[in-house]
Structure 1
Amino acid sequence: MSYDYGEKNGPHTWVLRYPNAGGTKQSPINLNTTSMRLDKTLTPINVNLNDLQKQILHVKEHNFSVEVKGCAVLSGGPLTSEYKLAQFHLHWGSGNNWGSEHMINGISCPAELHCVFINTKYGTMETAITYSDGLSVVGVFFQLGKSSNNNNALKRLCTLLKTTKKGESKDIQPMLDLNTLLPNDLSRYYTYSGSLTTPPCNECVTWIVLDEPVVMTIDQLETLRQCMQTVSHVAKPIIFVQSVRLVHVPLDVLFKFNNLTSSIIKKLFNLLLPDLLFICVYIWAQTF
């Protein structure tokens, strides 16, 4: 069965063909910091992405993924087992102010990276998705910036996408340095029990959404849009298109960091502060 993000086979139709999409622990969600619980027992996560053997780019009709071979592992935090990296992919939208699947206090980012790890006690993806602790996905928000000089992996990935047709796969040589796709601070994160955000939507994921975003340029975002455009994307750009599923209501979300103010919200506030001050001064001046 096929699916996409258009009107005919989009997220609102998935439950008709994939019963798990109607579950009570569906992802993505809006990460509302006012309703979270601080779990002081949570530790920083450990991510080791150095022991890689192979990376394979798969370009699909409406998205792409990079399959990873080797022993890149995730542990710590809310996890009680060791998880091995299987693949990573990106989600984005047609606007510069939304595109990430998760939100923080109703605020979206232009894109979101998902690093998919399999619980080593299950071995295969097919087996893992049948268990509630089968997968752990690390989510990374991307924000637009003037430079992403340190993000060589994203730069090379965009170059590869420009030269790879839909339906094709190619080995990535030399391999991408996946560490540049992650933020520096791995100690601040949100975690909850959820699901795959695409069919079959199994509720098998321990989500770890990092608080610190990574920078991408507008050119890199445009590369994703141009390489992955579909008919529905061109014809109806206002609807949730490409690779974004509407947020769901969470049951229980924990967070691990001391400061309740997300770094994303801080940066947005600092960005908007000059305009807010101008508006306040203008309104004050009109009273005289």
Structure 2
Amino acid sequence: MLLTSVLFLFASAVKIVSGADWCYQSQVTCSNLTCSGPDLWGGISPPCDGRSQSPVNIVTRRLLIDERLSPFQFTGYQETFHGRLLNSGHSLQLDLPSSIQINGGNLATTYKAVQLHIHWGKDGSPGSEHTVDGEQFPMEMHIVHIKEEYDSLSQAVRDPSGVAVLGFLFEESSSANKKFDPLINALKSITQPTNITTLEGVFLDMLIPAQKNLTKYFRYDGSLTTPDCAEAVVWSLFTSTVQLSREQIAAFNELQFSDGKPMAKTYRPVQPLNGRQMYYSAGHAAVVSTVLLISSVLVSTVGALS
């Protein structure tokens, strides 16, 4: 009878854990059996144990320059829109109109925007998902796009290159970034999970570095960084960072997880590369500049000789 009871309790515990909701490591506690941290995500969604997972640590000395990684063409990034802003229980999410699109950058086709979300630490501490030479940044924003032919993210993830995510790392600045005020001011309206508000009169160019500074980026094939961790993402992580003050960065901790605790350290640990090659776009500009320089020298030389 005792053995039967023990087996029943064990089976119940396994059922609770295996059917648990996913969460970040900052939410995991010894007494919380309903929350599966990153190490257990594979039990919730098998792709999370795949070999092409994200995020990763970008080792700059191992990058290969890819001349095909041309500058992106951003469509609709300067157009004002009203977007639904919500507390998803894991992050904030801003839904984006499909009129916002990207192409270029050696993408196979045009991709349309779906949503953006942000990952952060605690009170300004490191919180980015990707790291560069082991350095973790305070925050990271992902603008998620899907191939124009698909109607939803759930459709797009069935395609190995169905999703294109633009990643932006944040750095702390001594002064506030006023362009982020509408978003930060709206946080107080979505402190609780499932809270929704409308972010009005904004455009994406407000939230990213100047487009002229977006010619340099890292590229690799990876996955979504939350379950179901689908390996369907073409990643582009820009070297030009977004600047926010410490107070602005800390404001994101006003949001709360479903357990009522401050939403903090909302990032997945870096994943193994497993032999994947990472690329850098700067070679495109460098090659063009070199060709122009050589052409200029040749023209000058010919002119001098004549």
Q: Shared topology, TM-score over 0.5?
A: yes
Residue identity in the other structure for 2:216: R
**Rounded Cα–Cα distance in structure 2 between residues aligned with 1:232 and 1:22:** 29
**Other-structure match for 1:114:** 142
Among candidates 219, 226, 251, match of residue 191 of structure 1: 219
**Rounded Cα–Cα distance in structure 2 between residues aligned with 1:54 and 1:95:** 29
Does residue 232 of structure 2 align to residue 204 of structure 1? yes
**Other-structure match for 1:181:** 207
Residue identity in the other structure for 2:74: V
Does residue 43 of structure 2 align to residue 20 of structure 1? no
Structure 1 runs of 4+ off > 4 angstroms?
229-234
1:233 to partner: Cα distance: 5.8
Are 1:95 and 1:110, in contact at CA under 8 Å, matched by a contact in 2?
no
The TM-score, its normalising length taken from structure 2, stands at 0.77
Are 2:168 and 2:242, in contact at CA under 8 Å, matched by a contact in 1?
yes
**Other-structure match for 1:249:** 272
When structure 1 is superposed on structure 2, of 188-197 and 58-67 the one drifting more is 58-67
| Percent of aligned pairs sharing the same letter | 27
Number of residue pairs matched?
251
**Other-structure match for 2:289:** none
**Other-structure match for 1:286:** none
- Report Cα offsets for 1:220-263 as digits up to 9, x if no partner: 111101223565966xx9xxx5411010122111111159xxxx
When structure 1 is superposed on structure 2, of 126-135 and 54-63 the one drifting more is 54-63
Are 1:102 and 1:108, in contact at CA under 8 Å, matched by a contact in 2?
yes
- State the SS of the aligned residue for 2:181: helix
- State the SS of the aligned residue for 1:131: coil
**Rounded Cα–Cα distance in structure 1 between residues aligned with 2:216 and 2:238:** 6
More helix by share: 2
**Other-structure match for 1:31:** 58
**Other-structure match for 1:139:** 167
- Report Cα offsets for 1:37-70 as digits up to 9, x if no partner: 1112220112221346541111122311001124
Are 1:114 and 1:137, in contact at CA under 8 Å, matched by a contact in 2?
yes
**Rounded Cα–Cα distance in structure 2 between residues aligned with 1:231 and 1:242:** 15
From the superposition, tell whether residues 20 and 246 of structure 1 become closer, same or farther in structure 2 (CA, over 3 Å).
same
Are 2:79 and 2:203, in contact at CA under 8 Å, matched by a contact in 1?
no
1:96 to partner: Cα distance: 3.2
From the superposition, tell whether residues 126 and 76 of structure 1 become closer, same or farther in structure 2 (CA, over 3 Å).
same
Does residue 190 of structure 2 align to residue 164 of structure 1? yes
CA-atom RMSD, angstroms? Answer: 2.1
Are 1:51 and 1:70, in contact at CA under 8 Å, matched by a contact in 2?
no
Task: Provide structure 1 residue ranges, at least 5 long, that are not aligned to the other structure.
Answer: 260-288
Larger radius of gyration: 2
The TM-score, its normalising length taken from structure 1, stands at 0.81
